[in-house]
Amino acid sequence: MSSVTERLLEIQNLDVIYKTDEETVYAVNDLSLSVYKGETLGLVGETGAGKTTLALSIMKLLPERTGRILKGAIHLQEFPVTAMSEADMRALRGEMVSMIFQDPMTSLNPIHPIGMQIAEMLLLHKKQLSKAQIEERVDQILTLVGISPDRKGDFPHQFSGGMKQRVVIAIALACEPQLLLADEPTTALDVTIQAQVLQMMKRLKDDLGTSMILITHDLGVVARTCDRVAIMYAGEIVEMGRVEDLFQGDYHHPYTTALFGSIPNLTKKTKRLQAIEGLMPDPTNLPAGCKFHPRCPRCMEICQKEAPGAADRKGHQVRCHLYAEAAKD
């Protein structure tokens, strides 16, 4: 990872909601985090934690009629994303920040060849390139992601799921963005292809010097790929630190402990896998105090009334009343 002084992305006290006539969904709540140049930050949490909403907020791609940022700020280097117009933001997307969406099957245009879809990024952001240079760059990018340039005239339906995901990654990396948002990029792939795609993404990130936010459910992927990890629950970051802190430390949020407890142990025989009791809270009616308290085995009276502050131990932050004294120091 590059020097910690080289901050690429900074998010401060972000609140994001989805508002309809019937209800208001509180998707992201008072969230703050930073991403530094050259690092990979893993974003981990259950379905419904707000991970994709956070990524869409960074890209400013929230649904126009329902999604809105209530408060907070997102800065991408010197660019104030939350205050930027759609025209200015369109110039940043693809060139400075790109997103690999969750489902490659629906991310590609079925009526255009893949080469044209990659070239579109270059036509929008690299207007100084000639047609021949764009064709050459498309060939280079396809080779980079392990697809023969001979197939640039093929359509998405002619590719397997794994190859489609490579095409999506090629589109995201076409302009060599400084920040890549990867939203569960291997969810739809089988285990063998997952490993290949993750290895390829890590190699490309290192070769191009790109920073990455990797959204995933898989702690094994986090261990192999990430520099730092943020654990997300009910729209909040409940724990954040280096990978070493998460996997080797003994200072954890009860939710993180429960996540590790639900991983199958290959050396022990059990009749049932260990699950986390209860369900994610209803985002339209979040509980008072700590959002995890209805499911927490170590819940105290204060947890039901007051939201905990973040206790920090050498950059390892845990938002829990168990460590309240450390938060005051």
Give residue 279's pLDDT: 87
Domain boundaries, the chain: 7-84+216-328
For range 143-163, the mean pLDDT? 90
* Secondary structure of residue 92 in the 3-state scheme: helix
Give residue 188's pLDDT: 66
Q: pLDDT band at residue 53, thresholds of 50, 70 and 90?
A: very high
What's the pLDDT tens digit per position in 195-244? 777 887 788 788 878 899 999 888 888 888 899 999 999 999 999 999 99
Q: Is the pLDDT of residue 270 over 90?
A: no
DSSP calls for 200-266: HHHHHHHHHT-EEEEEES-HHHHHHH-SEEEEEETTEEEEEEEHHHHHH-S---HHHHHHHHTSPPT
Give residue 101's pLDDT: 85
Give residue 241's pLDDT: 94
Q: Is the pLDDT of residue 5 over 70?
A: no
Q: Is the pLDDT of residue 325 over 60?
A: no
Q: What token pair was written down for 191?
A: 């285990």
Give residue 137's pLDDT: 92
DSSP calls for 181-192: EEESTTTTS-HH
For range 164-188, the mean pLDDT? 87
Q: Is the pLDDT of residue 4 over 60?
A: no
Per the prediction, the chain carries an average pLDDT of 88
State the fold for domain 7-84+216-328. Answer: Rossmann fold (3.40.50)
**Bigger pLDDT: 327 or 222?**
222
Task: Report the predicted TM-score, pTM, of the whole model to 2 decimal places.
Answer: 0.88
CA distance 251 to 246: 8
